[in-house]
Amino acid sequence: MDRNSPLSIRDMRFRYSPLKPDWTIDISALDLKSGEQLLLTGTSGRGKSTLLYLIAGLLDPVEGRILVGGTDLHSMRGGVRDHYRGRNIGVIFQTFNLLQGFSAVENVLAALMFSALPGREHRQYAESLLAKLGIENPDADPDQMSVGQQQRVAVARAVACEPLLVLADEPTASLDPELADVAMNVIQETCRQRGAALLCTSHDPAMAKRFNRRISLEELSPETPKR
């Protein structure tokens, strides 16, 4: 595994149906270095989330290669791919997608089930991670928490396995501007501290100033001149 190359995409094309004439995703090249943070912009419905699912190995490209940590996730089968994803990729969703019926710490523990960390250390590690993110009551039901706290639990879960790459899918879309700012601080700072590369999608123009590197899906297609 190459920790210096969290993400490398080459000539990757994807469409949901072979009957569709146009590609949903068509990327000639995209690279992300270790610890790098990239904002992927684009209007809703253009395939930003689809790209994240392709990178996470939850969808398979029709053509081209996607390497995560130098490894082609799509050449792996079944459980091996799931195992690799669990250990190397963290995902933050727009709607947080916390596990219903699980407490805050249990949401993090659920992610740690698939990590290399010894089981006896899980609880202490999960609680300290939540504490660092300002969650003082790890046993609380996330449904009883504020939206901001829920977002922090989601971030803790995404980075729990010390991933190479964190994929954040419109992480602030359901937050008001003030809370969105706080949430992005948490996400970016946590990734920075843990050395994880961050690929964040958003259609919010206000997000642009937070990232040194920004790119739109349209710019990634072969016909568009690269920045």
Partner 1 sequence: MMTDFTIIIRSLRLRLFSTITTALTVAVAIALMLVLLSLRDASRKAFDRGSGNMQLLVSADSSPMGSVLNAIFYANPPARALKWAACQELLKTYPIEYQIPVQQGDTYRSFPIVATTPEFFTLFKPDPESGWELAQGTAFKSEFEIVAGAAAAQSLKLSLGDSFYITHGASDFSDRDPDDAQAESTQHQFPTLKMAMAQMHRYSKYKVAGILKRTGTSHDRALFTDLNSTWIVHAHQNRRMKDPSVTHTSAADLTDADKLITGVYVRFKTPPGMSESPVLSTVYDELKRGHPEITVAVPAVEIDRLFSIVSNIDEIFIALAAVIMVSSGIAIMLALYNSMEQRRRQIAILRVMGCSQARVFGLIVTEAALIGLLGAVAGVVLALIANQVSAKIIDSKLGLIIQPALAAEPTLWVVLAAVVLAGVAGIVPALMAYRTPVARSLRPMG
| Site of interaction with partner 1 (CB under 8 A) | 42, 44-50, 53, 56, 58-59, 78-79, 82-83, 85-87, 91, 93-95, 97, 99-102, 106, 109-114, 119-120, 122-123, 157, 161, 169-170, 201, 203
Contact partners, residue 17, CB within 8 Å, separation at least 6 = none
Extract long-range pairs of 112-116: CB within 8 Å, 24+ residues apart.
Answer: 112/160, 112/161, 114/82, 114/83, 114/86, 114/87, 114/161, 115/86, 115/87, 115/160, 115/161, 115/162, 116/87, 116/161
Nearest approach, Cβ of residue 14 and partner 1 (Å): 11
Residue 26 C-beta: closest distance to partner 1, Å:
16
* Min separation Cβ 138 and partner 1, Å: 13
| The two three-digit tokens of residue 81, written as one number | 């791919």
| Strand 7-14 versus strand 25-32 pairing type | antiparallel
Residue among 58 and 145 whose Cβ is closer to partner 1: 58
Q: E strand or H helix at 155, and its extent?
A: helix 147-159
Hey, is 163 helix, strand or coil? coil
Residue with tokens 């270790």: 34
Q: How far apart are CA 151 and CA 92, in angstroms?
A: 9
Least Å from the CB of residue 57 to partner 1: 10
Nearer to partner 1, 173 or 182 (CB): 173
Nearest distance in Å: CB 125, partner 1:
10
